[in-house]
Structure 1
Amino acid sequence: MNGPRRAPGDLLVHLRRARDHADRHYREPLDLDALAAVAGLSKYYFQRMFTATYGLSPAAYVSQRRVERAQDLLRATNLTVTEVCTAVGFASLGSFSSRFREIVGESPSEFQRRWAATGAPHIPGCFVFMWGLAEKRASEEKREEKPSS
């Protein structure tokens, strides 16, 4: 059978939980163990079912999500490629650049230059970092406020 397979409904709930977690926490270190734990599944079963359902391994999914966010930052801010790399959760500039080129078809620098040539205004990087810090604090406070059952 070619293409992603469909998982049973109850399994999809667990897979979506992990995918949604990856979408929200893409900046953080996310490995197979962490995502499988969020899904409540063994890591090898999770790996197989996630890949079969979404057509990408969990690692490839997280990497793709990070590159998508990097594209947003490179288009709309004055951050350097290195700042964007760390802001989206990549550990090394080399892995970021090669994965970016693989997905987008050009290097992050080329992408940024091409978008800068359009003359669109850029959000100062300091605002981006302040907003990210405020967003992180708000989510931490929200977690602390949850009443224990």
Structure 2
Amino acid sequence: MLECVTLEDLVRLRRARDVMDRDYARPLDVPALADVALMSPGHFSRSFRAAFGETPYGYLMTRRVERAKALLRRGDLSVTEVCFEVGCTSLGSFSSRFTELVGESPSAYRARRHETGAAIPACVAKILTRPRRNGAPVGAGRSVRIGEAGSAVAS
């Protein structure tokens, strides 16, 4: 059954999503996020999935993997340190989710060279390197063009 999300609920859901974006390294669970959205945990989970196409946990883990990729590219932290830095408490679960979303293990990602993307503006790199689930190609469903004054525009 397709659930309809009201504008009022969408505002509350975006508030919870903003908390996940900002505080991804803190311990966050559905009841705490539901409190931010002023909803029951069940209604929050259903509404979040209806509005954003993935579960709150899936969204949070995608954010954590996104941040982990940036830390791993720097190369000054071990995979275990990165795991805890982004708010994960289990190295095994972190590695499994990272591998699922990125297509290679955190160790392999950290070990390879990353200079090829250095010339890409950060706003474009964020779009193109966002972890994708289920083998979807990087940038799937999005195109990037250069707009006025050289700014990148995703569409």
Give yes or no for TM over 0.5.
Answer: yes
2:106 to 99, 105, 108: 108
Aligned to 1:143: none
Distance (Å, rounded) in 1 between the aligned partners of 2:45 and 2:9: 13
1:78 to 53, 76, 79: 76
Please identify runs of 4+ aligned residues in structure 1 that moved more than 6 A.
none
The residue type paired with residue 111 of structure 1 is Y
The residue type paired with residue 7 of structure 1 is V
The residue type paired with residue 103 of structure 2 is G
Distance (Å, rounded) in 2 between the aligned partners of 1:55 and 1:37: 20
Q: Which has the higher helix share?
A: 1
Aligned to 2:28: 30
1:11 and 2:13 correspond: no
Q: TM-score, normalised by structure 2?
A: 0.70
Distance (Å, rounded) in 2 between the aligned partners of 1:117 and 1:97: 23
Aligned to 1:126: none
- How has the CA–CA distance of structure 1 residues 44 and 77 changed in structure 2, closer, same or farther, with 3 Å as cutoff? same
- How has the CA–CA distance of structure 1 residues 117 and 21 changed in structure 2, closer, same or farther, with 3 Å as cutoff? closer
2:96 to 95, 98, 118: 98
Q: Is 2:75–2:110's contact at 8 Å kept on the other side of the alignment?
A: no
Aligned to 1:40: 38
Aligned to 1:56: 54
The residue type paired with residue 49 of structure 1 is S
The residue type paired with residue 105 of structure 1 is G
RMSD in angstroms over aligned alpha carbons? 1.9
Distance (Å, rounded) in 1 between the aligned partners of 2:105 and 2:115: 16
Distance (Å, rounded) in 1 between the aligned partners of 2:52 and 2:4: 9
Aligned residue pairs: how many? 117
SS in 2 for 1:115: coil
Aligned to 1:127: none
Aligned to 2:123: none
Q: CA deviation at 1:9?
A: 1.2
Q: TM-score, normalised by structure 1?
A: 0.73
- How has the CA–CA distance of structure 1 residues 38 and 107 changed in structure 2, closer, same or farther, with 3 Å as cutoff? same
| Larger Rg computed on CA atoms | 1
- The higher-RCO structure (CA 8 Å, 6+ apart) is 1
Distance (Å, rounded) in 2 between the aligned partners of 1:71 and 1:37: 29
